[in-house]
Structure 1
Amino acid sequence: MPAQKHIIVVGAGIVGASIAWHLTKAGARVTMVAASGPGGVATPSSFAWINASWGNPKPYFDLRLRSMAEWTRLKAGVPEIPLRRNGALCWDLPRAELEAFAAEHASWGYGIRRVDRAETARIEPALAELPELALHVAEEGAAEPVASTLALLADAERLGARIMIAAPVKSLVLGNDRIAGVDLDEGRLEADDVVLAAGAGSPALLATVGVALPIDTPPGLLVHSKPHRHLLNGLVIGEKAHVRQTTEGRIVAGADFGGTEPGTNPEETARELFAEVRSMLVGADDLKLDFHTVGYRPTPADGFPAIGRAPGLGSLYIAVMHSGITLAPAIGRMAADEILSGRRDPLLLPYGIDRFA
């Protein structure tokens, strides 16, 4: 790697922060630019469940499982990251599907086990209604999304990265069949490589250089309680809602981990959802709704991450995905290695940008 290789990272969400940190740690000169504050747009509205759970084909499971392990390494490098491996209970599937999910993932080496009503009560004593069968994965957990992003950015800055917040990128700069930098309100910033990790804002920036990337941005509403005494030990992926308690004591919940369809009246939707959540928990009579968030999840059209160099524009690296919280540590490490050395991790092979050509 050239000693002074300069790389711009566009986007201050958890994925951009991880890529910026890994690049800086590896010796690159990094400038991060972002229109919004630390955490970006999607990250603050994330349920933040770290998992390799159901509905994933084996190659995507393998990537997610690797990233679950990478969270441990990242936490060791940045101890300020608020990561908790507090386990998850799941029964948000019909019994036959739950059994099939358990059998499949166990055969793949996932630490998943069946638990009955009595053991579910021991794991989560505050649950008001107990399923006959649930699945428990002790290795799953959560990372507080904004605090984790702030910790990564602070350490990247300590290592020498330049962090430019409230610096919206107007366009990418195309020159000699390569992306030469970005245009900001205050002028042009040039670099050897540009990493686009701007989530839902990525298609508009790619359009400035004639690149199309199909990304959906489905909304998801989450409710956030006021801080409350301890109720939950880990994550609960139940039929009524998916629920967890943050390090500061807030209950965060959605109809699923991606959030709830907000409908035409998000405030009313939030109140109804919060009532369901309270009914799930013993000792929650004094639990109060504080606020709700509506996040727009950047999801490539086929549902899987879009990671890699843009065809024909080798100096542009794209990293857009839903499940940014689960994937951030692995993507940060793999992307930094590919950008600096040209080595592409085999786990990324199905997720290249050229599949959308």
Structure 2
Amino acid sequence: MSVATGYDVIVVGAGIVGAACAEALSAAGVRVLVIDRGAASGGTTAAGEGNILVSDKEPGPELDLAIASRAEWPAVLGRLPEEVADVEWEPKGGLVVATGEPALLDAFAATQRAAGVDARVITPADAFELEPLLTRAVTTAVYYPDDAQLQPVLAATALLAAVRARGGVVQVGVNALGVLRSAAGRVVGLETGDEVIPCQAVVNACGPWAGAFSQLAGGPIQILPRRGMILVTAPLPVCVRHKVYDADYVGAVGSGEADLQTSTVIESTRAGTVLIGSSRERIGFDEAIRVKVLRELARKAVGLFPFLGEVSVMRAYGGFRPYAPDHLPVIGADPRVDGLWHATGHEGAGIGLAASTGRLITELFLGLNTHVDATPFRVDRPALLGVVAS
């Protein structure tokens, strides 16, 4: 690429969040370049399950963003080029079940309903009608018709195809080493190993590596990797109809513990495989496969769906999720570096939150009214800057 070539925005990171930001910006007429040091959607996105959930979040800013993003995804998919529009979108609904005291799950559903979520408490008999192979130990369940699923790599690839179709550029195998700033301190380019690419703004969408890039760019934020593992069964006839998880999952999502936590999340894919998750563990970027984690996932899965005890596991995979200490995404301009933006910190919810994240970045960049309150996701939060509140 010529050094003289300029862009309005360079998005660093070609995963689902970076792709969604680039797609929304390009749809608004912004000239966009997307770069990634590896393959497009080859990092955290490739290790995702494709969850688009409103069921797993407590009332607050992240739930508000999730509700907005669930509504935004069909609009985003409607903008995709026809040849890449099939991203295995499945508005299948979610089912959360408890095998212990039902009052806690019922109370959680009530708080979500007050926040605008369609959360329907149902009887065990209703749950068995929705999922005939579910364990009979279920004591209560909540049905969430708005939970959905897509294939994350297909989705990110399709979003990037839309960017290209509008004249944007996607380049892989390019290392972002920092930003070039003018004498006044404003971003005027992105530094790579070979050149400086002129631009007006840079979006840090590096997922769990966003903390490292933020340091290079002069606007450090505290984003840490949190590892998750998933088991994949051999292909089966359709046997799990919805996205099903146990009530412990909500607590694991919101926990800040570094030690291993597991909870059961089970879903079928269009290919017939069953995905079994999930685990959370802060162990840095350690990629070692831990058999104890896989055993725990398998044990809990069989407890929820006993038939899985007779099913072969085809493979296992893991990935790193971008964890923010206060459990909120980072979406917006960095007040310390004029022209530096961040879109990261979604942890395991990036696929579900990507659509609204892209829209919000675009609205903020263009100075438009935002479709959700952007204040909770601002960059200068104490937790992101490593400041301990007194």
Q: Of 149, 153, 162, which aligns to 2:156?
A: 149
- Aligned counterparts, 1:257-276, within 5 A: 266-276=290-300
Q: 1:265 to 1:70 in 2, by over 3 A?
A: closer
Residue 91 of structure 2 is matched in structure 1 by: 85
Letter in 1 for 2:176: V
Change (3 A) 1:15 1:170: same
Render the CA deviation track for 1:148-188: whole Å, top value 9, x for unaligned.
11111112212211010121212222333122222222322
Deviation track 1:86-127 (CA, whole Å, cap 9, x = no partner) reads: 011102584222111111112222111111111111101122
1:206 positional shift: 1.6
The residue that corresponds to 2:251 in the other structure is none
Q: Normalized against structure 2, the TM-score is what?
A: 0.83
Find 1:236's aligned residue among 236, 241, 244. 244
Question: Residue in 1 aligned with 2:134?
Answer: 127
The question of whether the paired residues in 2 share the 8 Å contact of 1:174 and 1:209 is answered with no
Segment drifting more, 321-330 vs 58-67: 58-67
Q: Look up the SS of the partner of 2:14 in the other structure.
A: coil
Instruction: Give, in angstroms, the shift of residue 269 of structure 1.
Output: 2.7
1:138-287 matches, cutoff 5 A: 138-176=145-183, 177-238=185-246, 241-255=264-278, 266-278=290-302, 280-281=304-305, 283-284=307-308, 287=311
CA distance change for structure 1 residues 265 and 83 in 2, over 3 Å: closer, same or farther?
closer
Change (3 A) 1:216 1:5: closer
Q: Does 1:35 align with 2:58?
A: no
Which residue matches 1:354? 380
Q: Does 1:324 align with 2:324?
A: no
Distance (whole Å) between structure 1 residues aligned to residue 180 and residue 213 of structure 2: 10
Q: Higher mean Cα deviation, 128-137 or 15-24? A: 128-137
The match for 2:339 among 312, 315, 324 is: 315
CA deviations over 1:272-315 (Å, ceiling 9, x no partner): 52354245436546532122222211022211011110113221
Residue 271 of structure 1: how far off its partner (Å): 4.3
- After superposition, the C-alpha distances for 1:208-231 in whole angstroms (9 at most, x for unaligned) are 243220112221111122322211
Deviation by residue 1:40-71 (Cα, 9 ceiling, x = unmatched): 42112223321223452333322211111111
Distance (whole Å) between structure 2 residues aligned to residue 217 and residue 94 of structure 1: 33
**1:263–1:21 CA distance, 2 compared to 1 (3 A):** closer
Asked if the contact 2:226/2:281 (under 8 Å) is kept, the reply is no
Q: CA RMSD in A?
A: 2.5
Residue identity matched to 1:117 = P
For 1:65, the equivalent position in structure 2 comes to: 67
What is the one-letter code of the residue matched to 1:341? G
Q: Equivalents in 2 of 1:220, 1:234: separation in Å?
A: 21
Name the amino acid aligned to 1:198.
C
Tell me if the contact between 2:135 and 2:305 (Cα under 8 Å) persists in the aligned partners. Answer: yes
**How far apart are the structure 1 equivalents of 2:133 and 2:238?**
9
Q: Distance in 2 between matches of 1:259 and 1:227?
A: 28
Q: Identify the residue that residue 259 of structure 2 maps to in structure 1.
A: none
1:92-111 alignment, distance < 5 Å: 92=98, 94-111=101-118
Distance 1:260 1:234, change over 3 A: farther
Contact 2:94 2:242 in 1 (8 A): yes
More moved, 144-153 vs 53-62: 53-62
Q: Distance in 2 between matches of 1:307 and 1:151?
A: 22
SS in 2 for 1:217: strand
- Aligned equivalents of 1:141 and 1:45: distance in 2? 17
Residues 88, 153 of structure 1: alpha-carbon distance in 2 compared, 3 angstrom cutoff: same
2:143 to 128, 136, 150: 136
Quote the offset at 1:143 in angstroms: 1.7
Q: 1:150 to 1:129 in 2, by over 3 A?
A: farther
Segment of structure 1 superposing worse, 113-122 or 343-352: 343-352
- Give the direction of change, closer, same or farther, for the CA distance of 1:75–1:96 in structure 2 (3 Å limit): same
Contact map agreement 1:34 1:40 (CA 8 A) in 2: no
Q: Does 1:294 align with 2:318?
A: yes
* Residue 252 (structure 2) aligns with: none
Give distance in 2, aligned partners of 1:172 and 1:291. Answer: 40
Aligned to 1:172, the other structure's residue is in SS state: strand
Instruction: Report the AA paired with residue 231 of structure 1.
Output: C
Distance, in Å, in 1 between the alignment partners of 2:10 and 2:287 is 38
What amino acid is aligned across from residue 39 of structure 2 in structure 1?
G
1:338 equivalent to 2:364? Answer yes
Structure 1 unpaired stretches of 5+: none
Q: For the residues of structure 2 that align with 1:319 and 1:230, how far apart are their CA atoms?
A: 36
Match of 2:50 among 45, 48, 52: 48
Unaligned runs of 5+ in 2: 1-5, 249-262, 386-390
Count of residue correspondences? 353
- The question of whether the paired residues in 1 share the 8 Å contact of 2:187 and 2:202 is answered with yes
